[in-house]
Chain A
Amino acid sequence: GDSVTQMEGPVTLSEEAFLTINCTYTATGYPSLFWYVQYPGEGLQLLLKATKADDKGSNKGFEATYRKETTSFHLEKGSVQVSDSAVYFCALSRDTGNQFYFGTGTSLTVIP
């Protein structure tokens, strides 16, 4: 079945460090891929998405490229800020329905 695997956390970085959170997926067909972010006490917010192979999603300095050959959608940011501290979820959705499959989440803490 469809599934998403993302790197275990927690991740702790210093401000302005480079961030990579790995995400790989298993799915039949051509899923759409997403990164969601959850700040403390809040629901999830869409960070970025990509709908087909080689698409690059980007938002707020975060980027992720849909790599079909490696079934991956790694999240990157060149210079993290304290305000980026949150839990990040990788997710997929297939075009046959509105069901999302989420990874287990990666907690990021950025220290000044």
Chain B
Amino acid sequence: KAGVTQTPRYLIKTRGQQVTLSCSPISGHRSVSWYQQTPGQGLQFLFEYFSETQRNKGNFPGRFSGRQFSNSRSEMNVSTLELGDSALYLCASSVWTSGDFPYEQYFGPGTRLTVT
């Protein structure tokens, strides 16, 4: 079974631009979560989508948004990029069926975003 894939793997943008990152979850996984990883802040939760609906949201400004498609693929968008948005953006998918918690999260390799 293929793992979580993220595209692109590396991205360089300039301040003020916007960017869209893509995540394809493991087949059959309906929940997709996004995290921002930086050396200073560690892993911070951005949001989680399930069945095309945002279920949970972390403490990030409205410039960060996302969506999920009917095939569970997800995109996140960052508008008006700032230097501080430079980070590794990780996507994680998990199967979500009624029953036992916790649901293990399977992580993709991440997209390295550099804002100049």
How distant is A26 from chain B, measured CB to nearest CB, in Å? 15
> Are B45 and A98 in touch, CB under 8 angstroms?
no
Q: A36 CA to B31 CA in the complex, in Å? A: 19
Q: A100 CA to B56 CA in the complex, in Å? A: 10
Q: Is there a chain A Cβ closer than 8 Å to B25's Cβ?
A: no
Number of contact residues on A: which range applies?
20 to 34
> Are A99 and B48 in touch, CB under 8 angstroms?
yes
Interface residues of A in 74-101 (CB under 8 A from B): 89, 93, 95, 97-101
Interface residues of B in 30-71 (CB under 8 A from A): 31, 33, 35, 41-45, 48, 50, 55-56, 58
Q: A43-B4, A45-B107, A97-B56 are in contact. Are A102 and B101 (CB under 8 A)?
A: no
Q: A43-B109, A44-B107 are in contact. Are A102 and B43 (CB under 8 A)?
A: yes
How distant is A34 from chain B, measured CB to nearest CB, in Å? 8
Interface SS, B side: strand
Q: Is there a chain B Cβ closer than 8 Å to A20's Cβ?
A: no
Pick the most buried of B58, B92, B96: most chain A CB atoms within 10 A of its CB. B92
Q: Is there a chain A Cβ closer than 8 Å to B105's Cβ?
A: yes
Question: Which residues from chain B contact A100 at a C-beta distance below 8 Å?
Answer: 33, 45, 92, 105
Question: Which residues from chain A contact B96 at a C-beta distance below 8 Å?
Answer: 98
17 residue pairs of the A-B complex, CB under 8 angstroms, read: A36-B107, A43-B90, A43-B109, A44-B90, A44-B92, A98-B31, A98-B33, A98-B96, A98-B103, A99-B45, A99-B48, A100-B33, A100-B105, A102-B42, A102-B44, A105-B42, A105-B43
B residues engaging A (CB < 8 A)? Answer: 4, 31, 33, 35, 41-45, 48, 50, 55-56, 58, 90, 92, 94, 96, 101-110
A residues engaging B (CB < 8 A)? Answer: 32, 34, 36, 41-46, 49, 51, 89, 93, 95, 97-105
